Structure 1
């Protein structure tokens, strides 16, 4: 699924999809979109005023409220117009995390969504960040990465909540830019499309190395649950015709070589139909993808909501020119 006071390497371009996304402090880049209007970074402010007790996973007998603590992320301080939070990696290897915060009014209305990603967080490490919810904007000052300030008064009294946390091993993180991975290829998922219960997400592969890459047929696709375990009860189909036609997953498999700089794509297609008597709906936030049987795995986050269908179609690899990608090919984790 990016700001903190201590920056790490530049984040991958892929992030959680959010209706209105705002990058917070830490990676040196601030973007804004959505109903909140434009935003500018402010100078580094003082601490928030009012502590908010947030139980940890080790607090005996106390359940973690998902709005304040979820998946290694905690909102530690909430004061008038600002909040502070921390991300901790409990895993035994570096992880990339993407966090979606929702800002709610006193009536519970979602006013804005804020997306923050931390890359290569070391095992056991914690990084902290801050959200300013209102007040005047100022020109960024030299020094440490700035904190994002949301201008205006509409969000100055908003209460931040943790809406979603997604984490993938850094070694398997999708990559759509920056230095070429040691594998010599980039692989990432786009934002996809959804209509009338039909879901379509593209997987894009780019040869950024120095030698040709041979593709032959279909990628290996493994749906994973929230804990990165293989999700049972899912049939992965070759091609998308068994689910819907005209999705881009219908081309016959063929063998071809990608020269350095060339790209390919495949398409995941599924339905989120839920029917009574067919068991519980299946959800797979993550999918582990291997472009070829011997390729290094990449973990993307297409948020599969398979309903009770239990079926996921994966199309064959087809050529994709870098200059003719559709607008929906914006990256995501």
Structure 2
């Protein structure tokens, strides 16, 4: 029987209760409730003894003893040598020790924490004692946090690279710092709106956002600048757009909308814009149709930065092409995008 340490009766107020008397069954209930598996290791014979919870944790039928080699067969191959070395070194470890490793439980991988007391402290009959804990949940949470941190770092680096490139090119394509600041801010804002939508989608629809949602969000600011709301209509197929494609598509739509605001249908309050899509084999064909604006003509000067940016984005990130039809009724843009690229 384990008993708590009692202070002297003379030190106790009359109303102070005595400490709880711990019975062996109480300790067993506490150990079971905490998911703790007990083990004992004979340092001379190398035999392990575990309680029923220990054998259940390792996915083995209960027996009186088990050899270290038999246990090692269940340890993940990548951790096996490290665990052997760790257990061999426990007698030289000063104080408490803990080592985490993976075990194979059928097709399942579990993380186990082995804890004990080193430097022969507490050896009884040449046997060391310790516990095994199932720490799979904690390890998966840690791996998830590391994955999230790595993904965030990757995205931030990509955005900074894009921002640096846009800054450098925009500075060469504008006549004043005011123009540069305005154009750069607009392009970065378009990217920001696109990346706000990046999220997982169900049922294999893609890894970021829906194509219709992305286009609607990017074009929403221009819809409020006309004589009536609803002059911009988006009717495209339901499919997912990946993070990489969202960046290129956002820049492309921003440039087309900006040019339309300056020279095309969106420059007039009653002008309209229809964006629709069609599927052709492995491509998604997006049609940008402007109506009700001023008469447009094909530019006769050298292609500007915005047009170059669009062509590079469409070819490099979307694996497609872009064509312009400068009809008298209004500009028609045909944007062809590789379906696999669009979803990646």
Give the shorter-chain TM-score range: under 0.3
More helix by share: 2
Taking structure 2 as the reference length, what is the TM-score of the superposition?
A: 0.24
More strand by share: 1
Give the number of the structure with larger relative contact order, counting CA–CA contacts within 8 Å between residues 6 or more apart.
Answer: 1
Which structure has the bigger radius of gyration? Answer: 2
